[in-house]
Amino acid sequence: MGVPTIQTGPMTVEEFYGFTDTRPDEEKWELIEGEPVLNASPNRLHQRILKNLVRGTEAFERPGVGWELLPGLGVRISDRSRPEPDALILPKNVSSDLLERDRNDVIVAFEILSPSTRDRDLRWKRTAYTNLASLTHYVVIAQDMVDVVAFARENEFAERHLRSLNDSIELTALGISLPLSAIYRDTGLK
């Protein structure tokens, strides 16, 4: 028996999957620049906003629509970075592998801000996602107040704040308009 080899340096996505396959299913891990990052469990408010987002988007999913919204799928940014947005919109591809864990052809990425992820979501992920050629929108939703930041390719990903329940997130590339009143439904936020 020799001296064991200690893995040093950044982890690849394949090594990350080997690692997360040994972890409990309820843990949510991301790979950021080669480092595995464990995210805190979401609170009920976070999950209610996510449910509202899914419901609001489902209204636009009709037969023949070329996209689908999915929560909990990773985005392969590089061989060493695989963040996992709260939800994403992808091209609907019936021939793709339904067991895949990540995609790099994301159309829209949604993040619901948590105190522990705020800086990473607004800085690192913004840069990472907006560098994807397929991305048309990156949407960051606050959970402590009515405040959504929408970044759109059509505006060169300039920051646009929406702070009224009368505002809507306009995903023009997909013909979707999501009212903030629907996203913040039953949250108590005004």
Q: What is the pLDDT of residue 42?
A: 92
Q: What is the DSSP string of the chain?
A: --PPPPP-SPPPHHHHHHHHTTS-TT-EEEEETTEEEEEPPP-HHHHHHHHHHHHHHHTT--TT-SEEEEES-EE--BTTBB---SEEEEE--TTS-TT--EES--SEEEEE--TTTHHHHHTHHHHHHHTSTT--EEEEE-SSSS-EEEEEGGGTT-EEEE-STT-EEEEGGGTEEEEHHHHTTTS---
Q: What is the pLDDT of residue 52?
A: 97
Give the residue extent of every domain in the chain: 42-183
Residue 1 in this model has a pLDDT that exceeds 60: no
Task: Report whether 89 contacts 68 (CB < 8 A).
Answer: yes
pLDDT in tens, 42-97: 999 999 999 999 999 998 988 888 899 999 899 999 999 999 999 999 998 766 77
CATH number of 42-183: 3.90.1570.10
Place 6 in a pLDDT band, splitting at 50, 70 and 90: low
In 10 A of CB 129, how many CB atoms?
23
Task: Report whether 53 contacts 70 (CB < 8 A).
Answer: no
Residue of 160, 166, 169 whose CA lies nearest to 181: 166
Q: What is the pLDDT of residue 173?
A: 87
pLDDT in tens, 108-158: 999 999 888 888 999 999 999 999 999 999 999 999 999 999 999 999 999
Q: What is the pLDDT of residue 115?
A: 83
